[in-house]
């Protein structure tokens, strides 16, 4: 172990000293993130700030359900709504004068109609511009009307059942005022996707991780080319220790660079990846997967130039397929292949983490990355060592 | 060739070493041994198999046949104990350009098991020995070729190996650094270190090596001390006569002299193989003149390892 860590420390010292690791692992990806963010402008604005809205409403103040409907609109938490009252005939003029987003015309005796099971119509008038705010307001009114409609249906059902008139009114009121039978709760599912900016940061971190871990195998080839590998092999350390040291170097650089990239990216692009513990686990797993690939590359290439080319090709293929630049989807076998991509799994894992996922929730992506690492190691064991034959 | 007697003081014992690359047999049945304090030379042209032998002795590559034992321990690529006893100075520079000389020495010293004060002391000693103390803190990529070569050797010496293996350490080195390297090797031998030294420079082998193996095409052609090898040529000298006139009549006349064993002629003069050239020289020059040759220059070539190699292989050492 002493020999192993001596070699790792020596490698890290040289990598830090020649500064290329900083350029390729940190400066380039951060710059690329910035450029891509500008190119795809507006990426990742996850939150939408709704502007204050004005609603012109016509309703009888004494109408209980009409007042409830307007109350629902006025009490919206996601935007400030001001309601202006106007007679039904003046609603359009008032809208034009005040620039209101929506007009609501509630018919007279609206509550009586609902409670007696008769048809009642609420008229909505949209402003001259179909804004996001007016769309939200229409949705809210629609939801409230749907609930009130339940009262009408209930009253109609009571009429068919020949219930007394007073009982019909009570039932209808309860149905209209009661909670809906089916509710849709908005929440964050465990398999939630990252925001566009989050995907960009995670994807670039994953992509450049492939380059960063490559410094390990490049180090091995550099040793071969500068003659120090022969000297190392004449020392009392095994060949496996030498290779493991290079893998450890790549792994450590990969983990460090990815951690810095995600941290810096999340600050610069205002995205969150969730629990640091889960993110750390994902980084360790994706770095393991990427490092295993370097063992395969080390077997196949004979020079540092070849290693550079091979590493670049693998990084770009896995990065693009994993969604480093834009989301990639497939069906059937292609979808399976995409799912097995460690960078894709890494981004999925970060998506789950960002959505509040725990370690248990990211077990799927973790399994994919570790399985990839295992397969990479097994393949490298059976490949002929072309580099050693050079 | 048969291996010489092996004693308990042998630091290196190589027997029947064979290494093949496909159909090519790079090393074919090589055996030798080296005792403590002895410098053993492998002399041969480029491609003769010297580096392949070194690679097997240092445990870099496995032998197809035969064995290597260092201080009684088997040496193979997977052995680590035997590797603690050797110090390798590869033919190619084996230093890290982005580290200083001190950092290079300390790194390889740690891998050899040196730690703490012992590592620091040996590092300073070696820096002094190779004359790099005042540049120890500079990155080696800023060093001259000679300085790099000296550091390359220093790393091999750091842990005081019982066997130092030097593979053509003076290739591409300026004369001053070359002399410094040769002096260092002489000193190490005196201090009791066994040295395996490969070279294709005859002068280096003659100066440094107690015993020399002449190798060509993967085989030992001969082995022994310099004087033992010289006797293989029959102890004859060569005399080159340059000049004009009747060289063919001179060749005929000189062939009749008792000291002259053989006469060759080329356009520029005659080349004679003679026993005891200095004694026979006066009679040869007189005989050539009497036969009508006008001699303009005379050269006596005493037998050396070059002659031995030529004698054994039929080609020059630097072919």
The H or E element containing residue A55 is: strand A53-58
Among candidates B60, B96, B112 on the partner chain, residue whose Cβ is nearest the Cβ of A230? B60
- Is there a single domain that holds both residue A366 and residue A223? yes
* CB–CB contact A6 B90 (8 Å): no
Question: Tokens 């220093």 appear where?
Answer: B154
Distance from CA of A228 to the nearest CA of B (A): 4
pLDDT at A272: 87
Half-sphere exposure of A389 (CA within 13 A, CB side): 9
Region of residue B165 (phi > 0: left; psi between -120 and 50: alpha; otherwise: beta): beta
pLDDT at A173: 61
Question: Tokens 């929506």 appear where?
Answer: A102
| CA closest to A237 among chain B residues | B80
From chain A, the residues in CB contact with B83 under 8 A are: 234-236
Question: Distance between CA A288 and CA A353 in Å, rounded?
Answer: 19
Residue A37 binned pLDDT confidence (cut-offs 50, 70, 90): low
* CB–CB contact A227 B77 (8 Å): no
Range(s) of chain B covered by CATH 3.40.50.300: 1-85+161-233
* CB–CB contact A236 B93 (8 Å): no
pLDDT at B139: 93
Mean pLDDT across A370-386: 84
Among candidates B90, B94, B107 on the partner chain, residue whose Cβ is nearest the Cβ of A6? B107
> Is residue A7 a contact partner of residue B108, using CB atoms and an 8 Å limit?
no
> From chain B, which residues contact A within 8 Å (Cβ)?
55, 58-60, 77-78, 80-81, 83-84, 86, 88, 90, 92-99, 103, 107-108, 110-113, 155
- Is there a single domain that holds both residue A255 and residue A166? no
- Is there a single domain that holds both residue A291 and residue A150? no
Q: Tens digits of per-residue pLDDT, A79-128?
A: 788 888 888 888 888 888 888 888 888 888 888 887 777 777 888 888 77
Final residue of a structural domain among A142, A177, A212: A177
From chain A, the residues in CB contact with B58 under 8 A are: 234
* CB–CB contact B99 A226 (8 Å): no
Among candidates B78, B96, B113 on the partner chain, residue whose Cβ is nearest the Cβ of A228? B96
Q: What's the complex ipTM?
A: 0.77
Distance from CA of B207 to the nearest CA of A (A): 27
**Is A120 part of any domain?**
yes
- Is there a single domain that holds both residue A202 and residue A171? no
pLDDT at A283: 94
pLDDT at B124: 93
From chain A, the residues in CB contact with B108 under 8 A are: 231, 235
Instruction: Give Cα A351 distance to the centre of its chain.
Output: 4
pLDDT at A159: 57
From chain B, the residues in CB contact with A232 under 8 A are: 111
Q: Tens digits of per-residue pLDDT, B197-232?
A: 998 888 888 888 999 999 988 999 889 988 888 887
Of A314, A369, A374, A325, nearest in space to A346 by CA: A369
Mean pLDDT across A206-222: 81
* CB–CB contact B94 A2 (8 Å): no
Mean pLDDT across A239-250: 86
From chain A, the residues in CB contact with B92 under 8 A are: 226-227, 230
- Is there a single domain that holds both residue A167 and residue A214? no
Report phi then psi at B96, rounded to 5: -90, 120
* CB–CB contact B97 A3 (8 Å): no
Question: Distance between CA B71 and CA B11 in Å, rounded?
Answer: 5
Tell me the two tokens of residue A118: 């008769």
pLDDT at A42: 55
Residue A281 binned pLDDT confidence (cut-offs 50, 70, 90): very high
From chain A, the residues in CB contact with B88 under 8 A are: 230-231, 234
pLDDT at A39: 67
Which residue segment(s) compose the domain that A384 sits in? 7-44+195-389
Q: Say yes or no to pLDDT of A387 above 70.
A: no
Tell me how far apart the terminal alpha carbons of chain B are, to the nearest angstrom: 24
From chain B, the residues in CB contact with A236 under 8 A are: 80-81, 83-84, 111-113
pLDDT at A181: 43
From chain B, the residues in CB contact with A238 under 8 A are: 78, 80
pLDDT at A370: 94
User: Which of A21, A218, A230 to probe the B interface (max B CBs under 10 A)?
Assistant: A230
Q: Tens digits of per-residue pLDDT, A170-212?
A: 655 665 555 544 343 444 444 456 777 788 888 888 888 888 8
pLDDT at B69: 93
Question: How many domains does chain A contain in total?
Answer: 2
- Is there a single domain that holds both residue A317 and residue A361? yes
- Is there a single domain that holds both residue A296 and residue A375? yes
Of B230, B232, B199, nearest in space to B215 by CA: B199
- Is there a single domain that holds both residue A374 and residue A261? yes
Final residue of a structural domain among A144, A177, A210: A177
User: Which of B94, B152, B164 to probe the A interface (max A CBs under 10 A)?
Assistant: B94
**Is A187 part of any domain?**
no
- Is there a single domain that holds both residue A155 and residue A205? no
Which parts of chain B have pLDDT scores under 50? 1-8
From chain A, the residues in CB contact with B55 under 8 A are: 230
- Could you tell me the CATH number of the domain that includes residue A68? 3.40.1710
pLDDT at A189: 40
Residue A150 binned pLDDT confidence (cut-offs 50, 70, 90): low
Range(s) of chain B covered by CATH 3.30.70.260: 236-302
- Is there a single domain that holds both residue A139 and residue A283? no
Query: Which range, A42-46, A143-147, B26-30, is most confident?
Result: B26-30
Report phi then psi at A192, rounded to 5: -70, 145
From chain A, the residues in CB contact with B109 under 8 A are: none
Question: Distance between CA A6 and CA A10 in Å, rounded?
Answer: 6
Of A128, A151, A132, A152, nearest in space to A140 by CA: A132
Q: Which CATH superfamily is domain B236-302 in?
A: ACT domain (3.30.70.260)
| CA closest to A219 among chain B residues | B96
User: Which of B73, B77, B110, B161 to probe the A interface (max A CBs under 10 A)?
Assistant: B110
Report phi then psi at A80, rounded to 5: -85, 125
Q: Identify the architecture of domain B1-85+161-233 in CATH.
A: 3-Layer(aba) Sandwich (3.40)
* CB–CB contact B95 A228 (8 Å): yes
A–B interface: beta-carbon pairs under 8 A: 70
Question: Tokens 């009747």 appear where?
Answer: B246
Q: Say yes or no to pLDDT of A389 above 70.
A: no
User: Which of A21, A231, A388, A390 to probe the B interface (max B CBs under 10 A)?
Assistant: A231
Distance from CA of B75 to the nearest CA of A (A): 10
Final residue of a structural domain among A118, A148, A177: A177
More confident residue, A184 or A219: A219
- Is there a single domain that holds both residue A167 and residue A237? no
**Is A16 part of any domain?**
yes
pLDDT at A190: 40
List, in order, residues 6 or more apart from B27 with CB less than 8 Å away: B17, B18, B19, B49, B52, B53, B56, B63, B218
- Is there a single domain that holds both residue A19 and residue A86? no
Mean pLDDT across A325-354: 80
């Amino acid at each position: 172990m002493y020999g192993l860590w001596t070699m790792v420390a020596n490698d890290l010292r040289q990598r830090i000293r020649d500064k290329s690791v900083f350029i390729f692992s940190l400066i380039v990806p951060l710059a690329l993130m910035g450029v891509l963010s500008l190119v795809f402008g507006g990426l990742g604005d996850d939150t939408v700030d709704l502007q204050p809205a004005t609603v012109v409403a016509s309703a009888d103040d004494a109408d209980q359900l009409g007042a409830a409907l307007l109350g629902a609109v006025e009490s919206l938490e996601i935007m400030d709504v001001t309601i202006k009252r106007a007679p039904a005939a003046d609603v359009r003029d008032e809208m034009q004068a005040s620039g209101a987003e929506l007009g609501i015309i509630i018919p007279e005796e609206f509550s009586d109609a609902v409670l007696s099971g008769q048809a009642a119509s609420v008229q909505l008038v949209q402003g001259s511009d179909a804004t996001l705010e007016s769309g939200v307001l229409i949705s809210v009114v629609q939801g409230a009307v749907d609930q009130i409609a339940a009262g009408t249906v209930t009253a109609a059902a009571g009429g068919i059942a020949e219930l007394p008139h007073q009982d019909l009114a009570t039932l209808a009121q309860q149905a209209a005022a009661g909670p809906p039978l089916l509710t849709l709760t908005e929440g964050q599912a465990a398999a939630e996707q990252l925001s566009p900016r989050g995907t960009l940061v995670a994807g670039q971190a994953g992509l450049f991780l492939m380059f960063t871990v490559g410094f390990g195998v490049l180090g091995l080839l550099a040793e071969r080319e500068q003659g120090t590998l022969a000297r190392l092999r004449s020392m009392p350390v095994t060949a496996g220790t030498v290779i493991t040291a290079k893998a450890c170097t790549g792994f450590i650089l990969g983990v460090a660079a990815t951690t810095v990239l995600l941290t810096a990216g999340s600050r610069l692009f205002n995205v969150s990846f969730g629990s640091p513990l889960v993110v750390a686990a994902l980084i360790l797993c994706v770095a393991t997967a990427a490092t295993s690939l370097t063992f395969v590359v080390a077997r196949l290439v004979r020079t540092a130039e070849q290693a550079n080319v091979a590493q670049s090709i693998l990084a770009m293929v896995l990065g693009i397929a994993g969604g480093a630049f834009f989301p990639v989807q497939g069906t059937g076998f292609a979808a399976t292949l995409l799912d097995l991509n460690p960078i894709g799994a890494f981004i999925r894992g970060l998506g789950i983490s960002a959505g509040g996922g725990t370690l248990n929730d990211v077990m799927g992506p973790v399994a994919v990355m570790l399985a990839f690492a295992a397969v990479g190691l097994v393949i490298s064991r059976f490949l002929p060592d072309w580099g050693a034959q050079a | 060739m048969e291996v010489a007697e092996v004693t308990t003081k042998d630091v290196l014992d190589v027997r029947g070493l064979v290494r093949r690359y496909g159909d090519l047999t790079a090393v074919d049945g090589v055996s030798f041994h080296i005792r403590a304090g002895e410098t053993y030379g492998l002399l041969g042209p480029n491609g003769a198999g010297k580096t392949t032998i070194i690679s097997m002795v240092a445990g870099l590559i496995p032998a197809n046949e035969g064995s290597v034992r260092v201080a009684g321990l088997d040496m193979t690529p997977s052995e680590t104990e035997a590797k603690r006893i050797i110090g390798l100075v590869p033919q190619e520079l084996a230093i890290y350009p982005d580290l200083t000389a001190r950092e290079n020495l300390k790194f390889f010293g740690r891998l050899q098991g040196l730690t703490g004060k012992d590592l620091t002391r040996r590092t300073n000693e070696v820096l002094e020995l190779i004359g790099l103390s005042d540049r120890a803190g500079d990155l080696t990529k800023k060093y001259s070729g000679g300085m790099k070569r000296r550091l390359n050797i220093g790393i091999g010496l750091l842990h005081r190996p019982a066997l130092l293996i030097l593979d053509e350490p003076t290739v591409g080195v300026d004369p001053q650094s070359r002399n410094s390297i040769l002096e260092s090797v002489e000193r190490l031998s005196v201090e009791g270190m066994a040295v395996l030294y490969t070279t294709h420079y005859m002068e280096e082998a003659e100066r440094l090596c107690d015993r020399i193996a002449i190798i060509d095409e993967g085989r030992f052609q001969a082995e022994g001390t310099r004087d033992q090898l010289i006797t293989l040529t029959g102890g004859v000298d060569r005399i080159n006569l340059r000049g004009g006139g009747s060289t063919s009549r001179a060749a005929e006349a000189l062939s009749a002299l008792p000291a002259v064993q053989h006469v060759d002629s080329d356009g520029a003069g005659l080349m004679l193989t003679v026993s005891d050239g200095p004694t026979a020289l006066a009679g040869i020059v007189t005989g050539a003149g009497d036969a009508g040759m006008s001699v303009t220059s005379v050269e006596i070539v005493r037998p050396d390892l070059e002659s031995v190699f030529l004698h054994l292989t039929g080609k020059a050492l630097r072919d």
